[in-house]
Chains A and B, each alone.
Chain A
Amino acid sequence: MSTENLKESEPVEPGSLTFAAVTRPIDPAWAWVPYQPDAQHPWSLAQAGHLYRRAAFGANWDQLQQALADGPQKTIDRLLKPQADVPAFNRAEDQFDDSAAGSDSADSLRAWWLRRMIHTPHPLLEKMTLFWHNYFAVSNDRVKNGKLMQQHVALLREHALGSFRPLLKAIVHDPAVLLSAGNASSRKANPNDGLPRILLEEYTLGSKQCDEKDIAEAARAFTGQFVLRGALQSIPREHDDGRKLILGQEGNFTGDDVVQIALDHPKTPRRLVRKLYEWFLSETESPCEALVEPLVASLGPSYDVMKLVETILRSNLFFSSIAYRQRIKSPVEFALGMIHALEAMVSTTQLAQDLSGLGQNLYHPPTIKGWTGGRHWINTASLAGRNNLAVALLQGSGAYGGSINPQRLSLNHQRSTVQSATQFMLDLFIQNDLPTTVRDGLLDGLPDTSSTVKTDFDAIVRQSALSIVTLAEYHLA
């Protein structure tokens, strides 16, 4: 890999909006080395915004300023291990989840999760919980039990930044997963291949990495496992304790053994790394094997997810143009980015409904493959829907009321004219990184407000904020 190649991929050019596959070769030795700002590649507001979009759900102004002052590595330290008492926060939030899980619906749970995403002192943990929710794609459409869904997401959160090994071992015994996989019962006379198929094809090796015989044998290993009245029960007499041949290994395997075999298979860590690459770095480019291998090594045999995420977030590649704005925000990221930036709290019951309308219904991934994401988030209808949601959030009345108030925030940060408030919104939402012509058009179109009354100022700042969050740049993560 030449130095020229490396340099080509490095800079983040302000105003660049390149959502196309990058085919340039990338030097792995450069890619995963921690990013150190220098004169050529300085740490900037754009970089800070990029970091918070990927490792959190956006940032407010104080967080951006703190990140600017602290530099990338210290900011990443804080995102990985916040100083706040995260367990205490989550214990308190878990109580709200407990109360919401009493019904068969997950509607209240969705609202509480969104609220937790907004309030959490550890947004990376929630971001990773969302990642695993998409990864395992357990839907209450199939589970139909709020309590089990609550326990499932709590399990994801518990292991979100831990090791994939214990997480996967717990997943195959999670009643919600079994119900979602259509695996409520599996008898030795009629082994159910629902869970084994998903385990091998979706959770570990990937599709076409094993044959039907492997899945049938794995199904025999999982026999004797039942979900009865919402609880997992093992009935030994229904377990097939004969010898099985799975992925070339032979033995008297149980379900746990199948998990172990799948985890030890070389395809599994590579698949997980690629999923995390897509989640944190880029949806537009599939990394080559050479680029993946160092990450597989970082993950290690213990499947240390935290270490892998840390490697990605600190890397040169993460702060390069190969990653910058190379993802489309999911509806959750789109909405929470606004709410975070404007330091507001809204009705999350309403927000959950609106996000569902945009295609991201939490607790209800559409298929066993989760949300397709990427370009699929955007089509003519969903783009109009996103704009409508932005209008609803920013209009100061209606379903979300007046809790979001860009004017008040601007004044709090000493931006008391329409021009300065609009510039502030540009910095806040997209770190002022957009083509000059667009920016100038936005600012030049503002009225002279030296004598504008309060209500007009409010309306103009709301309109400016709306104009910014409906720009193409804001839809990119």
Chain B
Amino acid sequence: MSRTVRFSLGLWFSLLVGQAVAQAPAIPPATSWIPQDAVICLEISHPKALLDILAGDKMTAKVTSLPLYQKLTANPGFLGVTNLIRFLETSLDTDWRTGLGKLTGGGITFAVCPKDTVLLIVDAEDQRMLERTHDFLRTMVQSDAQGKGLPDPVASAEYLGVTGWSFNGKESHAIVGNRFILSNNPEGLKGVLDLRNQTADQSFATVPDYAAAKKTIEQNSIASAFVNLGPIKGIPGIEKALSQGKSNPLAALFFSGMIEAIRNSQWLAAGLYIQDQTLDLRAAVNGKPVDPDGPAGFAMPQQSGEGALPNLVVPRQIAAMSFYRDLHRFYAAKDDLFPERTSSLIFFENMMGIFFSGRDLTDEVLVEARPHMRFVVAEQEYDPAIGTPQIRIPAFAMILQLRDQEQFDEIVEEAWQKAVGLINFTRGQQAMPGLIIDRPIHNGAKFTVAYFSTAGLKDKTNLHNRFNFCPSLAMPGDYLILSSSDGLARNLIDAQKQEAAQSVKPLAGKHSLVELDGIQLSSILQSNYDNLVRKNMIDKGNTQLDAEASIDLFVTLTKLVKHLGLSMGTQDRLTEAQLKVELNLP
């Protein structure tokens, strides 16, 4: 592409206007201008709906009221950007939000194609504003280069009757009517313009998989995405991730169902929906769902109405997870699921043999667990009389349900006390203090707690990290609760009582459910603020001020998420996932 500007601005205007007149009535969907071999295609059909929530009054009020924003306003770089935006607003005679809406209101399409080509097609509502914005940016780039004594970086060339531009010698873009086309290289732009001129349609819009994927997206979606999984699965990192289960038992346990479904699929389709302040992303892959009778079937509900249980709810809950996983079937199929016998796995089996007094792990231990696994993570409360650790680690717990609690509870208790004894013995060998076992009663349930004593410690405000842990075992009803803290164990005993009284039903067809409370997460981050800042300083090489800004931003983002829920399961022979994000706006 030539490095000289070939046409005057007047000619450019007249050309564009002329084209607009000719093209506007018949401009086809943007996917008709995207090559067939695109790997990822993201279409935002209603950008204004997204803008309304992400750049609306409520979000703007929320962001501008944040301390981080107040700090940023004093930053010279930030002031430069806001001044530029104000200048643009004045020049275009609009405010930035309206301007952005008019520039993108017709839809945004983004595609990733082979040979590292990226395409962006934006349909403006206001063609004149698009042209003026382009002109403004071109002038600004040229003035900037001139000010630095550098050559004019703007270049342009004609291709199939359209003027292609580049502002930095690398990106290429063009305007066709009210459509703005951007590519990260000239060949990408040429490909789009070739498709525009073709009579026989060989565009992405005609790809059968894309058409099939489109059918899974509901009409009221704000945005949709299509991913051709064939090339994606060949990317080394993803290929490795998809084969993780074969060597990693935990990956096999928690990601079975999902990994197999992606391995078997040709495409992934996703649709984004907005309701009030909730973003709802629903995705599906077309691969054959996991065979319920196969090795990975341990994660597949066997009968209709079966599935993961709803999450337990405790005070100060940060996250909760619920899985439908048949541990007995999982471990019985270990030779198929994770054939590589790592030293860690052998160690685990040996230890289980010791803890469970020689019982067979598969047929005499895991068989006792029902196929429901739940996890809870919650912020801890610390009694100042006992002490507060320097780093406040959230408490976490695993909750199982037993088939025959009466027969099995003493076996579990014995195994657990052996584990505590082993920890104590090992710590004693290293002259470190051990755990003290106690058996308190809470809400009618006797449970076992092991704790480190703070007696004799002078400074109880800055305790060692070990004081975050009071490993506890509780077995109310047919529940088995293994908790890292006694406080969470008590709260889970209460939660169990409530759940038992309500006779909770499983989430039919769902095998995995993850929920996160952003406000509670921000609370634990805030509690560890100084530690996080210090870690950021040495991990990123930041100054203290930069580290604080970085953590502030992270805390701010978490505060914006009131609730996040991710569920996965099978519906109508499609493996589906749903991510719902409820924003925390006033």
Contacts and interface: CB of A to CB of B under 8 A. Distances in A.
21 contacts: A96-B534, A99-B390, A99-B531, A100-B534, A102-B390, A108-B535, A112-B538, A115-B537, A115-B538, A144-B430, A344-B541, A345-B543, A347-B540, A347-B541, A348-B538, A348-B541, A349-B538, A350-B539, A401-B540, A453-B150, A454-B150
Nearest to A108: B538
A228 B540 CA distance: 37
A125 to B, nearest CB: 20
Main DSSP-derived SS at the B contact region:
loop
B69 to A, nearest CB: 25
A368 interface: no
Contacts of B169: 453
B528 to A, nearest CB: 11
Interface string A93-134: 000100110110000100110010000000000000000000
Nearest to B530: A99
Interface of A: 96, 99-100, 102-103, 108, 111-112, 115, 144, 184, 228-230, 344-350, 400-401, 403, 451, 453-454
A396 B430 CA distance: 44
Given A99-B390, A103-B465, A345-B543, A229 B537 contact: no
B391 A102 contact: yes
**Which of B531, B540, B543 has the largest number of chain A CB atoms within 10 A?**
B540
A111 B530 CA distance: 17
B464 A102 contact: yes
Interface in B188-231: none
Of the candidates B151, B153, B430, B534, the one having the most CB atoms from chain A within 10 angstroms of its own CB is B534
Interface residues of B, number: 25
B541 A346 contact: yes
A229 B391 CA distance: 21
B94 to A, nearest CB: 32
Nearest to A346: B541
A454 B534 CA distance: 34
B465 A102 contact: yes
Contacts of B9: none
B339 interface: no
Contacts of A453: 150, 153, 168-169
Contacts of B540: 347, 401
A147 to B, nearest CB: 9
B431 interface: yes
Contacts of B431: 184, 228-230
Interface of B: 150-151, 153, 168-169, 390-391, 430-433, 462, 464-465, 530-531, 534-535, 537-543
B202 to A, nearest CB: 35
A229 B541 contact: no
B538 A111 contact: yes
B465 A345 contact: no
A400 B542 CA distance: 11
A229 B430 CA distance: 9
Contacts of B391: 102
A347 B430 contact: no
Contacts of A347: 538-541
A304 B531 CA distance: 39
Nearest to B430: A144
Nearest to B537: A115
A347 B535 CA distance: 10
A347 B536 CA distance: 9
Contacts of A229: 431-433
A103 B464 CA distance: 7
Contacts of B168: 453
A111 B151 CA distance: 44
Contacts of B151: 451
Contacts of B541: 344-348, 400-401, 403
A347 to B, nearest CB: 5
Given A99-B390, A345-B542, 12 more contacts: A96-B537, A99-B531, A99-B534, A100-B534, A108-B538, A111-B538, A115-B537, A347-B540, A350-B539, A400-B541, A403-B541, A454-B150
Contacts of B530: 99
A399 to B, nearest CB: 10
A414 B432 CA distance: 59
A196 to B, nearest CB: 22
A228 B432 CA distance: 9
A4 B221 CA distance: 91
Contacts of B535: 108
A298 B448 CA distance: 67
A347 B391 CA distance: 21
Contacts of B464: 102
Contacts of B539: 111, 347, 349-350
Nearest to B390: A102
Pairs of residues from A and B, 9 with the lowest C-beta to C-beta distance, nearest first: A111-B538, A346-B541, A345-B541, A347-B541, A349-B539, A102-B390, A349-B538, A348-B538, A403-B541
B550 to A, nearest CB: 13
A469 B464 CA distance: 42
Nearest to A416: B149
Contacts of A112: 538
A59 to B, nearest CB: 20
Contacts of A345: 541-543
A92 to B, nearest CB: 10
A6 B465 CA distance: 61
Contacts of A401: 540-541
Nearest to B542: A345
Contacts of B462: 102
Contacts of A403: 541
B539 to A, nearest CB: 5
A313 B168 CA distance: 52
A401 B539 CA distance: 11
Nearest to B148: A454
Nearest to A344: B541
A112 to B, nearest CB: 6
